[in-house]
Amino acid sequence: MVARYYSSGLGRFMAVDPAAESIDLLDPQSWNRYTYVKNNPLVLIDPRGLKDKRTDEDKKVLDDPDVKQRTQEAWEESNPDARDGDDMQEVGFNTTETSDGEVNAKGTETQGNPRNVNLTDPDENGEIDGEKAGPTVHTHPAGGRWVTNPETGKRQKGKHSHSADDKDNVRDSGRTSYVVSRKGIYRYGPGDKRPKKVLSGKHFKEYMGKKK
Protein backbone atom coordinates (compact mmCIF):
# COMPACT_ATOMS: atom_id res chain seq x y z
CA MET A 1 0.00 0.00 0.00
CA VAL A 2 3.14 2.19 0.02
CA ALA A 3 1.96 3.75 3.29
CA ARG A 4 2.15 0.60 5.49
CA TYR A 5 2.67 -3.16 5.38
CA TYR A 6 -0.16 -5.71 5.22
CA SER A 7 -0.02 -9.36 6.27
CA SER A 8 -2.21 -11.51 4.02
CA GLY A 9 -1.79 -14.45 6.40
CA LEU A 10 -3.15 -12.54 9.37
CA GLY A 11 -5.54 -10.45 7.29
CA ARG A 12 -4.50 -7.20 8.91
CA PHE A 13 -2.05 -4.32 8.69
CA MET A 14 1.23 -4.76 10.56
CA ALA A 15 1.81 -1.03 10.99
CA VAL A 16 -0.37 1.84 12.13
CA ASP A 17 -2.07 4.31 9.81
CA PRO A 18 0.58 7.04 9.38
CA ALA A 19 -1.98 9.82 8.87
CA ALA A 20 -2.62 11.21 12.34
CA GLU A 21 -5.18 13.63 10.87
CA SER A 22 -7.60 10.73 10.51
CA ILE A 23 -7.91 10.55 14.32
CA ASP A 24 -11.21 11.93 15.59
CA LEU A 25 -11.36 12.29 19.38
CA LEU A 26 -15.15 11.93 19.23
CA ASP A 27 -14.94 8.67 17.24
CA PRO A 28 -13.34 5.85 19.32
CA GLN A 29 -13.06 3.61 16.23
CA SER A 30 -10.55 6.04 14.76
CA TRP A 31 -8.23 5.50 17.74
CA ASN A 32 -7.36 2.00 16.51
CA ARG A 33 -4.54 2.87 14.12
CA TYR A 34 -4.27 -0.68 12.69
CA THR A 35 -7.69 -0.74 11.04
CA TYR A 36 -8.68 0.17 7.48
CA VAL A 37 -11.73 2.45 6.94
CA LYS A 38 -13.02 1.63 10.42
CA ASN A 39 -13.23 -2.09 9.56
CA ASN A 40 -16.04 -1.38 7.11
CA PRO A 41 -14.55 -1.96 3.61
CA LEU A 42 -17.90 -2.94 2.08
CA VAL A 43 -19.14 0.62 2.50
CA LEU A 44 -16.03 2.79 2.74
CA ILE A 45 -12.97 3.14 0.51
CA ASP A 46 -9.57 4.76 0.97
CA PRO A 47 -7.52 4.22 -2.23
CA ARG A 48 -4.42 5.95 -0.83
CA GLY A 49 -4.50 3.85 2.33
CA LEU A 50 -4.16 6.88 4.53
CA LYS A 51 -7.42 8.22 5.90
CA ASP A 52 -11.21 8.30 5.88
CA LYS A 53 -12.66 11.76 6.45
CA ARG A 54 -16.38 11.06 6.79
CA THR A 55 -17.92 10.30 10.14
CA ASP A 56 -20.86 7.94 10.54
CA GLU A 57 -23.12 10.99 10.83
CA ASP A 58 -21.68 12.42 7.59
CA LYS A 59 -22.48 9.18 5.79
CA LYS A 60 -25.98 9.02 7.29
CA VAL A 61 -26.76 12.45 5.85
CA LEU A 62 -24.76 12.59 2.63
CA ASP A 63 -25.30 9.00 1.52
CA ASP A 64 -29.06 9.08 2.00
CA PRO A 65 -30.47 8.57 -1.54
CA ASP A 66 -32.79 11.57 -1.32
CA VAL A 67 -30.09 13.91 -0.03
CA LYS A 68 -27.51 12.61 -2.50
CA GLN A 69 -29.84 13.15 -5.45
CA ARG A 70 -30.77 16.66 -4.32
CA THR A 71 -27.08 17.47 -3.69
CA GLN A 72 -26.17 16.39 -7.22
CA GLU A 73 -29.06 18.40 -8.68
CA ALA A 74 -28.20 21.48 -6.62
CA TRP A 75 -24.55 21.27 -7.60
CA GLU A 76 -25.36 20.97 -11.31
CA GLU A 77 -27.90 23.79 -11.08
CA SER A 78 -25.30 26.04 -9.47
CA ASN A 79 -23.24 25.90 -12.70
CA PRO A 80 -19.93 24.97 -11.02
CA ASP A 81 -17.98 24.83 -14.30
CA ALA A 82 -18.59 28.49 -15.16
CA ARG A 83 -15.45 30.59 -15.56
CA ASP A 84 -16.86 33.71 -13.89
CA GLY A 85 -18.27 33.57 -10.39
CA ASP A 86 -21.15 35.85 -11.38
CA ASP A 87 -22.36 33.14 -13.78
CA MET A 88 -22.85 30.79 -10.83
CA GLN A 89 -25.63 30.62 -8.27
CA GLU A 90 -26.25 29.02 -4.92
CA VAL A 91 -28.77 26.28 -4.23
CA GLY A 92 -29.50 24.81 -0.81
CA PHE A 93 -31.85 22.67 1.21
CA ASN A 94 -32.52 21.40 4.71
CA THR A 95 -32.58 17.76 5.70
CA THR A 96 -35.19 16.30 8.03
CA GLU A 97 -35.40 13.03 9.93
CA THR A 98 -38.53 10.91 10.28
CA SER A 99 -39.44 8.87 13.32
CA ASP A 100 -37.93 5.76 11.71
CA GLY A 101 -34.60 7.52 11.14
CA GLU A 102 -35.05 8.13 7.41
CA VAL A 103 -33.39 11.30 6.15
CA ASN A 104 -35.12 13.56 3.63
CA ALA A 105 -34.15 16.71 1.74
CA LYS A 106 -36.63 19.56 2.18
CA GLY A 107 -37.07 23.08 0.92
CA THR A 108 -34.76 23.53 -2.07
CA GLU A 109 -34.20 27.22 -2.75
CA THR A 110 -32.35 28.81 -5.67
CA GLN A 111 -30.85 32.28 -5.69
CA GLY A 112 -29.81 34.01 -8.91
CA ASN A 113 -26.41 35.69 -8.67
CA PRO A 114 -24.53 35.48 -6.17
CA ARG A 115 -24.39 34.91 -2.54
CA ASN A 116 -26.99 33.96 0.01
CA VAL A 117 -29.32 30.97 0.13
CA ASN A 118 -32.61 31.29 1.99
CA LEU A 119 -33.68 27.95 3.42
CA THR A 120 -36.94 26.95 5.05
CA ASP A 121 -36.68 27.75 8.75
CA PRO A 122 -37.84 25.17 11.30
CA ASP A 123 -40.96 25.98 13.29
CA GLU A 124 -41.05 26.59 17.04
CA ASN A 125 -40.72 22.84 17.61
CA GLY A 126 -37.56 22.63 15.50
CA GLU A 127 -39.44 20.77 12.75
CA ILE A 128 -39.97 21.20 9.00
CA ASP A 129 -43.20 19.76 7.61
CA GLY A 130 -43.66 17.89 10.88
CA GLU A 131 -40.22 16.27 10.81
CA LYS A 132 -37.19 17.07 12.94
CA ALA A 133 -34.93 19.61 11.23
CA GLY A 134 -31.47 18.29 10.43
CA PRO A 135 -28.36 19.70 8.74
CA THR A 136 -28.43 22.19 5.89
CA VAL A 137 -26.72 21.58 2.56
CA HIS A 138 -25.91 24.35 0.12
CA THR A 139 -23.45 25.12 -2.63
CA HIS A 140 -20.58 27.57 -2.88
CA PRO A 141 -20.01 27.08 -6.61
CA ALA A 142 -18.00 30.30 -6.93
CA GLY A 143 -15.34 29.11 -4.49
CA GLY A 144 -12.01 30.53 -5.61
CA ARG A 145 -13.61 32.56 -8.40
CA TRP A 146 -14.24 36.30 -8.46
CA VAL A 147 -17.81 37.31 -7.68
CA THR A 148 -19.60 40.64 -7.26
CA ASN A 149 -20.90 41.28 -3.78
CA PRO A 150 -24.54 42.37 -4.30
CA GLU A 151 -24.48 44.57 -1.18
CA THR A 152 -21.29 46.50 -1.94
CA GLY A 153 -20.89 46.02 -5.69
CA LYS A 154 -17.24 45.07 -5.12
CA ARG A 155 -15.49 42.05 -6.58
CA GLN A 156 -14.27 39.45 -4.10
CA LYS A 157 -13.09 35.86 -4.02
CA GLY A 158 -15.83 33.33 -3.33
CA LYS A 159 -15.22 30.81 -0.53
CA HIS A 160 -14.93 27.08 -1.10
CA SER A 161 -16.11 26.41 2.43
CA HIS A 162 -18.24 28.17 5.04
CA SER A 163 -18.56 31.94 5.07
CA ALA A 164 -18.82 34.00 8.24
CA ASP A 165 -22.62 34.12 7.77
CA ASP A 166 -22.70 30.33 7.41
CA LYS A 167 -20.83 29.90 10.69
CA ASP A 168 -23.13 32.36 12.46
CA ASN A 169 -26.16 30.43 11.19
CA VAL A 170 -24.71 27.18 12.56
CA ARG A 171 -24.09 28.74 15.98
CA ASP A 172 -27.55 30.33 16.07
CA SER A 173 -29.47 27.27 14.86
CA GLY A 174 -27.36 24.57 16.53
CA ARG A 175 -27.51 22.56 13.28
CA THR A 176 -24.63 21.25 11.20
CA SER A 177 -24.04 22.76 7.76
CA TYR A 178 -22.54 21.11 4.69
CA VAL A 179 -21.12 23.26 1.89
CA VAL A 180 -20.65 21.81 -1.60
CA SER A 181 -18.04 23.69 -3.61
CA ARG A 182 -16.24 23.03 -6.87
CA LYS A 183 -13.56 21.09 -4.99
CA GLY A 184 -15.40 19.08 -2.39
CA ILE A 185 -17.85 18.93 0.51
CA TYR A 186 -17.15 20.66 3.81
CA ARG A 187 -18.82 20.19 7.20
CA TYR A 188 -19.15 22.76 9.98
CA GLY A 189 -21.07 21.92 13.13
CA PRO A 190 -21.84 23.53 16.48
CA GLY A 191 -18.68 23.71 18.55
CA ASP A 192 -16.33 23.25 15.58
CA LYS A 193 -13.39 25.66 15.40
CA ARG A 194 -13.10 25.42 11.63
CA PRO A 195 -14.82 23.64 8.71
CA LYS A 196 -13.51 20.21 7.76
CA LYS A 197 -13.33 18.85 4.23
CA VAL A 198 -15.12 15.50 4.30
CA LEU A 199 -15.19 14.57 0.60
CA SER A 200 -12.80 15.58 -2.16
CA GLY A 201 -10.86 14.41 -5.19
CA LYS A 202 -11.92 11.12 -6.73
CA HIS A 203 -14.44 10.46 -3.95
CA PHE A 204 -16.14 13.78 -4.60
CA LYS A 205 -16.32 13.20 -8.36
CA GLU A 206 -17.79 9.74 -7.82
CA TYR A 207 -20.32 11.12 -5.35
CA MET A 208 -21.39 13.72 -7.91
CA GLY A 209 -21.59 11.12 -10.66
CA LYS A 210 -18.69 12.68 -12.55
CA LYS A 211 -16.46 10.42 -14.64
CA LYS A 212 -13.73 13.02 -15.15
C-alpha span between 131 and 14 (Å, rounded): 46
Q: What is the pLDDT of residue 211?
A: 63
Name the pLDDT band for 113 (thresholds 50, 70, 90): low
Kindly state the average pLDDT of the residues 156-163: 89
**Residues 6 or more apart in contact with residue 108 via CB below 8 angstroms:** 70, 73, 74, 91, 92, 93
Model pTM?
0.74
DSSP alpha helix (H) spans, the chain? 56-62, 65-77, 164-173, 201-207
Q: Count CB-CB contacts under 10 A for residue 86.
A: 17
Locate the domains of the chain by residue range.
1-52, 56-207
Q: Is the pLDDT of residue 1 over 90?
A: no
Name the pLDDT band for 212 (thresholds 50, 70, 90): low
SS3 207: helix
Kindly state the average pLDDT of the residues 120-144: 90
Max mean pLDDT range (7-16, 47-56, 138-147): 138-147
Q: What is the pLDDT of residue 18?
A: 65
Burial 27-41 (b: 16+ CB within 10 A, else e): eeebeeeebbbbeee
C-alpha span between 134 and 151 (Å, rounded): 30
C-alpha span between 171 and 168 (Å, rounded): 5
Kindly state the average pLDDT of the residues 31-44: 79
Q: What is the pLDDT of residues 176-209, one digit of tens each?
A: 999 999 888 999 999 898 999 898 877 888 899 8
Asked if 71 contacts 26 with a C-beta cutoff of 8 angstroms, the reply is no
106 phi and psi, to 5 degrees?
Answer: -130, 145
